[in-house]
Chain A
Amino acid sequence: MAYKLVEIELSKPLVAIELTLEQSGVGLIARWHDQLIGFEMIAVPSGSTLSVEELRILADQRFAARVHVAMVEDELASSMPAGTVLRSLSIAICTKDRPQRLSRLLTSLEAVRRNSAFGSVEIVVVDNASTNPATREAVERFDGVRYVFEPKAGLDFARNAALHAATGELITYLDDDVVVDRNWLAGLAKACRDNPGAGGFTGLVLPYRLDTEAQIYFERRGGFGRGFYRNEFRNARFDNPLHPVGAGVLGAGCNMAFHRKMLISLGGFDEALDTGAPLPGGGDLDIFYRVLRSGRAMIYEPQFAVYHEHRETIAQLRRQYWSWGLGMMAFLVKSSRSDHELRSRHGAMVRWWFVDQARALLRAVRGLRGRDVHFGVAEMWGGIRGLAGEYDRSRSRVQAIRELNQ
Chain B
Amino acid sequence: MTVHALPVRHIDLSTIRTDTHPGDAAAFSIFWWKDLPLGMRASLPDELPFGEAQLRQFAAEYGAAQLAARSQALGAPLRATFEGRPKQALTLARLLGAGNLVGELDRLAGAPAKSAQDISVVICTRDRREALAECLRSVTKQRYAPGEIIVVDNSSDGSAEPICRRFLEVRHLHERRPGLSLARNAGIRASGGEIIAFTDDDVELHPNWTAEVVRAFSDQSIDALTGLVLPARLDTAAQRIFQLDMGGFGTSFIPLRFDRRFLEETRPYGAHVWKIGAGANMAFRRKLFERIGLFDERLGAGAAGCSEDSEFWYRMLADGRVCLYEPRAVVFHHHRRELPELRQQIRSYMRGHVAALVVQYDEFGDRGNLVRIFKQLPLYFLKSFLKGLLEGRRGRPGTLTAEIVGWTAGLQFLFRSSWRRQRAPQFSTGRGSP
Contacts and interface: CB of A to CB of B under 8 A. Distances in A.
Interface stretch (B54-62, B280-288, B421-429): B54-62
Contact of B95 (A71, A73, A80, A195): A71
Interface of B: 1, 3, 17, 26, 41-47, 51-54, 56-57, 59-61, 63-64, 67-68, 74, 88, 90-93, 95-96, 98, 100-102, 105, 390
B165 to A, nearest CB: 44
B95 A64 contact: yes
B54 A71 contact: no
Given A11-B96, A355-B390, A234 B53 contact: no
Given A69-B61, A72-B63, A236-B1, A64 B56 contact: no
A65 B64 contact: yes
Interface string A42-69: 0000000000000010011001110111
21 contacts: A10-B92, A60-B92, A63-B92, A64-B91, A64-B92, A65-B90, A67-B95, A68-B67, A69-B60, A71-B95, A72-B60, A72-B102, A73-B57, A76-B56, A77-B56, A80-B56, A195-B53, A236-B46, A238-B44, A238-B47, A241-B1
B60 A76 contact: yes
Contacts of A63: 92
Nearest to B244: A238
Contacts of B90: 60, 64-65, 68
A60 B96 CA distance: 12
B17 to A, nearest CB: 8
A232 interface: yes
Interface in A1-45: 10-11
B98 A75 contact: no
Contacts of B105: 72
B8 to A, nearest CB: 14
A73 B91 contact: no
Nearest to B74: A68
A76 B47 contact: no
Contacts of A299: 53
B88 A65 contact: yes
A75 B44 contact: no
A235 B101 CA distance: 35
Contacts of B67: 68, 72
B54 A67 contact: no
A251 B422 CA distance: 61
Q: DSSP majority for the B interface?
A: helix
Contacts of B56: 73, 76-77, 80, 194
Interface of A: 10-11, 56, 59-60, 63-65, 67-73, 75-77, 80, 194-195, 197, 229-230, 232, 234-239, 241, 297, 299, 355
Top 8 A-B residue pairs of the complex, sorted by shortest distance between their CB atoms: A73-B60, A194-B53, A236-B46, A235-B46, A236-B44, A69-B64, A60-B91, A238-B42
Contact of A71 (B42, B52, B101): B101
Contacts of B53: 194-195, 230, 232, 299
A72 B42 contact: no
A63 B96 CA distance: 13
A68 to B, nearest CB: 5
Contacts of A241: 1
Between B3, B26, B47, B105, the greatest number of chain A beta carbons within 10 A of the residue's beta carbon is seen for B47
Contacts of A238: 3, 26, 41-44, 47
Contacts of A64: 88, 90-92, 95
Contacts of B61: 69, 229
A237 B331 CA distance: 28
A73 B43 CA distance: 23
A59 B44 CA distance: 37
Contacts of B17: 80
Nearest to A230: B57
A76 B100 CA distance: 10
Between B90, B92, B105, the greatest number of chain A beta carbons within 10 A of the residue's beta carbon is seen for B92
B64 A75 contact: no
Nearest to A193: B53
Contact of A59 (B41, B92, B101): B92
Given A73-B56, A235-B46, A68 B26 contact: no
A194 B52 CA distance: 7
Contacts of B52: 80, 194
Given A69-B64, A71-B98, A72-B101, A232 B91 contact: no
A346 to B, nearest CB: 15
A76 B58 CA distance: 11
A67 B92 contact: yes
A60 B102 CA distance: 22
Contacts of B63: 72, 76
A66 to B, nearest CB: 9
A65 B92 CA distance: 9
A75 B101 contact: yes
Given A194-B52, A238-B42, 12 more contacts: A56-B93, A59-B92, A63-B92, A67-B92, A68-B68, A69-B64, A71-B95, A75-B100, A76-B59, A76-B102, A80-B56, A236-B47
Contacts of B95: 64, 67-68, 71
A72 B46 contact: no
A197 B51 contact: yes
A232 B51 contact: yes
Contacts of B1: 236, 241
B19 to A, nearest CB: 12
A71 B105 CA distance: 13
A297 B74 CA distance: 36
A237 B44 contact: yes
Between A69, A72, A299, the greatest number of chain B beta carbons within 10 A of the residue's beta carbon is seen for A72
Contacts of B100: 75
Contacts of A235: 46
Nearest to B90: A64
A241 B98 CA distance: 41
A232 B43 CA distance: 13
Nearest to B27: A238
